[in-house]
Structure 1
Amino acid sequence: MLGLLLSLLAMANLSPVPYIASLLGTTEPALKLLISILFTYPMAYMYHKYVWPHRQMRNLYFIACGFDIAFFNFGMSMIHNLIPALVIHCSTMLLGSGMWNVIITIIFNMTYLVLGYFYTESENYDITWTMPHCVLTLKLIALSFDLWDGRKLENNETLSENCMKTALTKRPGFLELIAFVYFPSCFLIGPLFSFRRYLDFLNDHYPVQEEKHFSKVAMTRLICGLLYLGAFQIGGNIFTMEYMQSEDFLQMSIISRNLYCGVWGHFILYKYISCWLLAEASAIRFGLSYNGDMKSEDKKTSLWDGCTNIKLWRFESATKFQHYIDSFNCNTNHFAAEYIYKRLKFLGNRNLSQGLTLLFLALWHGVRSGYYMTFLMEFLIIYFEKEFEYIISSTNIYKRMWANTYVKYFVYFILKLYTLVFMGWSLVPFDVKVFSKWWEVYANLYFSGFILFVPWAFVYKRIVLALKKAM
């Protein structure tokens, strides 16, 4: 195993990783992460060539590969990712697949994760055992809900269509559970996938051997991931947070500063997109990403986008923040919608449910103030967009505007600038984390996001309604 070999070389001070990291101008943990993600692709190839014919070896192979990646990146700290799996295995046996198992799973995993943040998180972007642990937390919470849904199904209770697809009527076996946790292509950074999907994949319900074109799909995503990684390396070195915190930044006009921040934010997101694409490529190459419910445009081939975490066209062409939500970190957003937002339906208030969901996601990311400010901005912007669009969409000027070709493209350009600028604005706290740092950058931007979105409900909304009435 490559991870074990490089770890042994590191113990003997012979590892090339530190040298290569300094050569590339990156950190050693970041390079280890990239090496691990890339190496899962040949792991997938080896799986189909040597392991797939031996069904009894499949779980063991995934566990061995996942352990190798975990040890290479985190050493003995990898034990932290094993403990929650053992806990849910025991709690499901003792408590069964009901509500109390869900409650214990949520409390234990979120507490463990937050304590991990307290002990490991710094002001910088940290790559520690908490990184795969945050993915694992959602996987295990979803698993506990899926088991509960399975019990409801056995009791003839009505479930939604999405819950029907993931409900489990049988408790996972121990090896299945550990292999699910350490599945190599998705262990470090996701994407999330349900235990039901893993079982279908494991039991050959996906036509991996019949539909050979899936390897071409995997290669396409791999190449896209490498291209986005290159774009991040170039753009991330040109547009930097350090510059936005410098005196030179203040010499720019306020419009130029906001545009700079927007472009910086766009390239920052390429860091996540590139990693997700590379991870998705190996998930497809394993055969995990089969989407049997959908077909390609020619209706002849199946889609292999079941583990897609980024919809590139929707992301790049976004003209409102809902487009970002629909296209970015798709599996986490799906989890938040299915397992948090919809489960809060009993509150009877959509805004409250949305607010609590975003609060959960902020806590899931970490304990620094920047995460909470970013998700607060998401709440305010989505609230503004939905109400503003609802008010003006019925006006004649709005309809005439979109009916005119030239005006339509001009409006598209303005909306594109709007989403670019304020996505960058929203990402500033997420990137620097600490209040003093993101407040300094916001001050350099003259608090433009606050001025636009915070007064909406109290001031701007009334003005827009008055103008609509006067038309």
Structure 2
Amino acid sequence: MDALFLPLAGVVGASVDQVKLITCLLIAYPLGSVFIRIPSSQPAMKHLFNIGITLMFFFPVLQLYSAFFQLLASILATYYLTRYYQSSKMPWVVFCVVMGHLTVNHVIRSVYNLSYETLEVTGPQMVLTMKLTTFAWNVYDGRRPAADLDKWQTSKRVTNFPSLLEFLGYSFYFPGILVGPYLDYADYMDLINETVFKTLAVKGKSGRNVPAGRKRVAYRKMVTGLVYLGIFIVLGGSWNFSISLTPWFLEQSLFYRIAIYQMCGVFERTKYYAIWTLTEGASILTGLGFTGVSPSGETLWTGAANVDVLVIEIPSNFKVLLDAWNMKTNVWLRECVYKRVTPKGKKPGFRSSMITFTTSAFWHGIASGYYLAFLTGGFITTIGRLARANIRPLVLPAAGAPPSIAKHAYDVVGTVITTLLLNYAASPFMLLTAKDSLITWARLGFYGHILIGGSMAFFYAGGTKFFRGLQTKQASKFAANASPISTPVHEKQFMVPPSFDQMVAPQK
């Protein structure tokens, strides 16, 4: 079947594997329209449809025979462990089995030095790892008293164990099997049974409770994804982070290098924007992602999103940026790692945060660049927390008052610094090796380390005490000027913002 893809690969200048992947994502669009036409009264047909399409992707198209059976092995191991192993350690056993299997394949990929253009088992396995470990925790929560669960755990808990067919259908949900989006079992069964649509007062054209507007949103996503893909094909090959390793880059002035690097970061990310937006649109066609109806009557389909491009490229702060990037993975890390490693009755601490960052790094692979990127990201989160706790309260307006010039300046400076640090910290993630990462940082004048180190030194050497003193004086001034019948100053103006651990926890 490669003969069908070789000419196209030559035209666009991409590998055959990349062309195959995009083809599968595009084929999922018409197949999504077929899937949603299968009546909810025949759930077995929907499960079989998912399994059948996944088999088509892996066998004749991608020719990943071994990869499919490896995924199947992890699925069956998870199914029987969660069903028959009643211990409270069950989710961690599943986690070790599934993550360990993924890590072995990451090692194999590294040994063979496979490029990102080569499609093999680790990509789909990363998505499946999130699904299977989440399912294990959902089953565990289904065995716990409801009073011990938080809102997310209560809504996602599994109390009726699925049949093997249902679990295979969930695991092999075809629009997300290759690159996501990851979804939990409760959302999958809502999709199969069309539960989320049954509260709608207005029926769709077919007479069923499937809301209108789905195709319009989905195909708009497809066009958007193809635009991102086009940008990456045309510009990403020349303007990417590896440009820092060329002699030309070294010949430029430091400020020009830094400026060019910001542009390269945008083009580097377009490949992720492309695949996540394409798969989001295909998922919407199956009915996934429905989040309600707007006041104007327009249906909303944001539940399958995995990225918010505008927030990433124009971020107000680093935490908001992280929340908008690979959003489903952030949910998984928060719900299945960050919360779960925190002892009962205690708030998450530094230990919980570091375990979460380490898990994220291992999930991505074993390349040294990943660990440099996540370690740097942890320090960036720290200085973000310090700035938010110490500087931001001083520029917040009183309740009901418009933002001041100082607040606008704070936001602009925050956006610029966040963007600079994003591209600095992300470069090891793309370059993969510590050697290339350190060369790149040196050629950028280590500006990220200067910003991070300088900020931490400032705050810990007396800056925090100084700004807290200003906050106290400001609070006293407002209190002195307030009349007994005046509207009190908004309490958030002087509250200590979330702790470091709350800030680093991935939020949906």
TM-score when normalising by structure 2? 0.83
Larger Rg: 2
2:240/2:268 contact within 8 Å kept: no
1:136-171, CA deviations, whole angstroms, 9 ceiling, x for partnerless residues? 01110000000011111xx44421111111100011
1:311/1:327 contact within 8 Å kept: yes
Instruction: State the AA in 2 paired with 1:339.
Output: C
In the other structure, the counterpart of 1:330 is 327
In the other structure, the counterpart of 1:47 is 35
1:37-58, CA deviations, whole angstroms, 9 ceiling, x for partnerless residues? 1111111122234676744311
1:25-73, CA deviations, whole angstroms, 9 ceiling, x for partnerless residues? 1111111111111111111122234676744311111100011112222
Q: Give the drift of 1:75.
A: 2.2
Mapped to 2, the partners of 1:458 and 1:47 lie a distance apart of 57
- Residues 142 and 179 of structure 1: is their aligned pair in 2 closer, same or farther, counting only changes over 3 Å? same
Mapped to 2, the partners of 1:408 and 1:251 lie a distance apart of 39
In the other structure, the counterpart of 2:79 is 89
2:245/2:439 contact within 8 Å kept: yes
Q: Give the drift of 1:297.
A: 4.4
Mapped to 1, the partners of 2:226 and 2:390 lie a distance apart of 43
Q: Does 1:62 align with 2:57?
A: no
Mapped to 2, the partners of 1:391 and 1:57 lie a distance apart of 57
In the other structure, the counterpart of 1:384 is 383
Q: 1:145 aligns with which of 137, 155, 162?
A: 137
Mapped to 2, the partners of 1:270 and 1:137 lie a distance apart of 25
1:175-206, CA deviations, whole angstroms, 9 ceiling, x for partnerless residues? 11111111110001111111011111111213
SS in 1 for 2:89: helix
Q: 1:124 aligns with which of 115, 123, 130?
A: 115
In the other structure, the counterpart of 1:248 is 248
1:99-148, CA deviations, whole angstroms, 9 ceiling, x for partnerless residues? 23212201101110000011123263243111010110111000000001
Q: 2:65 aligns with which of 73, 76, 92?
A: 76
In the other structure, the counterpart of 1:109 is 98
Instruction: State the AA in 2 paired with 1:415.
Output: G
Q: Give the drift of 1:314.
A: 2.5
TM-score when normalising by structure 1? 0.89
1:204-263, CA deviations, whole angstroms, 9 ceiling, x for partnerless residues? 213274312222221222222122222323331341234211111112221221222222
- Larger displacement relative to structure 2 (382-391 or 42-51): 42-51
Instruction: State the AA in 2 paired with 1:247.
Output: P
Q: 1:304 aligns with which of 293, 301, 306?
A: 301
1:393/1:399 contact within 8 Å kept: no
- Residues 261 and 166 of structure 1: is their aligned pair in 2 closer, same or farther, counting only changes over 3 Å? same
Mapped to 1, the partners of 2:458 and 2:9 lie a distance apart of 51
In the other structure, the counterpart of 2:170 is 180
In the other structure, the counterpart of 1:278 is 278
- Residues 259 and 463 of structure 1: is their aligned pair in 2 closer, same or farther, counting only changes over 3 Å? farther
Q: Give the drift of 1:460.
A: 4.7
Instruction: State the AA in 2 paired with 1:229.
Output: L
Q: Give the drift of 1:85.
A: 0.5
Q: Give the drift of 1:301.
A: 4.4
1:45/1:285 contact within 8 Å kept: yes
- Residues 183 and 464 of structure 1: is their aligned pair in 2 closer, same or farther, counting only changes over 3 Å? same
1:314/1:327 contact within 8 Å kept: yes
- Residues 343 and 455 of structure 1: is their aligned pair in 2 closer, same or farther, counting only changes over 3 Å? farther
1:243/1:249 contact within 8 Å kept: yes
In the other structure, the counterpart of 1:202 is 192
**What are structure 1's unaligned runs of at least 5 residues?**
1-8
In the other structure, the counterpart of 1:167 is 157
Instruction: State the AA in 2 paired with 1:101.
Output: M
- Residues 442 and 74 of structure 1: is their aligned pair in 2 closer, same or farther, counting only changes over 3 Å? farther
SS in 2 for 1:188: coil
What is the RMSD of the two structures over their aligned residues, measured on CA atoms?
Answer: 2.4
In the other structure, the counterpart of 1:230 is 230
Q: 1:26 aligns with which of 5, 14, 20?
A: 14
- Residues 373 and 349 of structure 1: is their aligned pair in 2 closer, same or farther, counting only changes over 3 Å? same
Q: How does 1:387-402 map to 2 (within 5 A)?
A: 387-395=386-394
1:368/1:434 contact within 8 Å kept: yes
In the other structure, the counterpart of 1:315 is 312
SS in 2 for 1:206: helix
Mapped to 1, the partners of 2:397 and 2:351 lie a distance apart of 32
In the other structure, the counterpart of 1:267 is 267
